[in-house]
Amino acid sequence: MALISFARGMPGPDLLPIAAFGDCAREALERDGATALQYGPPGGYPPLKQWVSEQHGVDAARVIVTNGSLQGFAFAARHFVQSGSRFFVEAPCYDRSLSILRKLGAEVEQVELAEDGLDVDALSGSLRAGDVVYTIPTFQNPSGRTLSLENRRRLLDLAAETGAVVFEDDPYGMLRFEGDPIPRLFELSEGSTIFLSSFSKTVAPGIRTGYLILPDELVSAIEELVLSNYVSPAIFVEAALLEFLTSGRFEPNLETVRDGQATVSPRLDRSGFGRENQPEQRGRTDASESERGGKEKIHCWSSC
């Protein structure tokens, strides 16, 4: 029988575009030549920033491409902790983000999950200006829950009333294989929240490419933090990714990943876990039947 580990969100190896990405790396170097092997700006390869900005309908200057989305989280977290912000996070919260906040010495308030994710009622009355609400509203990690449209709007209203900042982490939103998509907080707020995403689940973790979309006034502060760590992210891998994204390979790959998850999902019970494995983890993932996708198969891998 297959051994399934839920320790980390690793995509199944059969869902990784191995041959296609190798082709993209070659094609990118043919296309961009020395530029793809040189240093670049701290916010990432400009044509990739442009692609991301077009997906989200924002100015490319607001995009910072990072070495995986966790690096983007770490920069934003450091900025807000240095500014004295309190963090409100889900309980349970994505463990790596929480660990970074703890190491930064952040003041962290954990909010128990409601049935659809972050409990907006519980937040109400606690938030004040400058607080940061960090949330994964779609297929939350680790619970898999997805915040309803109504509660998304309530969260944004609450943040607007109090002057709190909403920091949306969305690594899984594009991997939905059941139910209708719910607009991101970023879209509902007309781009005024902080948005974090990743190509780890939609393309591959080993390319370590994620991105932040920031309000204009935060860009230079975060770029300063980038330059306190590295000169630029790996332009070569970003050029290869851009080729993957613009050569017609991305959308079919997304379908492959979604299909791969949908195929494995009948083997998972309603809590999202295999019925016979890892009973001690039960209850940590509990996506409803109508809200499935994102982090089911990619949080499984098999040794069989």
In one-letter notation, the amino acid at residue 83 is S
User: Among residues 216, 229, 259, 270, which is the contact residue for a copy of itself, using CB under 8 A?
Assistant: 229
141 binds a copy of itself (CB under 8 A): no
230 binds a copy of itself (CB under 8 A): yes
82 binds a copy of itself (CB under 8 A): no
223 binds a copy of itself (CB under 8 A): no
Stretch binding a copy of itself (CB under 8 A), from 48-56, 163-171, 224-232, 259-267? 224-232
Residues 231-250 that bind a copy of itself (CB under 8 A): 231-237, 239-240
**φ and ψ at 80, to 5 degrees?**
-70, -35
Distance of closest approach, residue 126 Cβ to a copy of itself, in angstroms: 27
Distance of closest approach, residue 28 Cβ to a copy of itself, in angstroms: 8
At 205, list the tokens. Answer: 């973790």
Burial 37-67 (b: 16+ CB within 10 A, else e): eeebbbbbbbbbbebbbeebebebebbbbbb
Cα–Cα distances in angstroms (integers) from residue 103 to residues 8, 76, 81, 190, in the given order: 20, 14, 11, 32
User: Among residues 3, 38, 83, 270, which is the contact residue for a copy of itself, using CB under 8 A?
Assistant: 38
Quick count: other Cβ atoms within 10 Å of Cβ 1? 9
Are the CB atoms for 33 and 222 separated by under 8 Å? no
279 binds a copy of itself (CB under 8 A): no
Are the CB atoms for 170 and 148 separated by under 8 Å? no
Residues 92-121 that bind a copy of itself (CB under 8 A): 96, 99-100, 103-104
Are the CB atoms for 193 and 166 separated by under 8 Å? yes
270 binds a copy of itself (CB under 8 A): no
For tokens 């449209």, the residue is: 149
71 binds a copy of itself (CB under 8 A): yes
Of 117 and 260, nearer to a copy of itself (C-beta) is 260
- The residues that bridge with 113 in the sheet, in sequence order, are 118
Q: Sketch the per residue contact string, 40 through 69, with a copy of itself: x for CB under 8 A, - otherwise.
A: x--------------------------xx-
Q: Name the burial class of residue 272, with classes exposed (0-12), middle (13-18) and buried (19+) by CB atoms within 10 angstroms of its CB.
A: buried
At 156, list the tokens. Answer: 């944004």
The residues of the shown chain that bind a copy of itself, judged by CB under 8 A, are 8, 10-11, 13-14, 16-19, 21-23, 25-30, 33-40, 67-68, 70-71, 74, 96, 99-100, 103-104, 200, 204-209, 227-237, 239-240
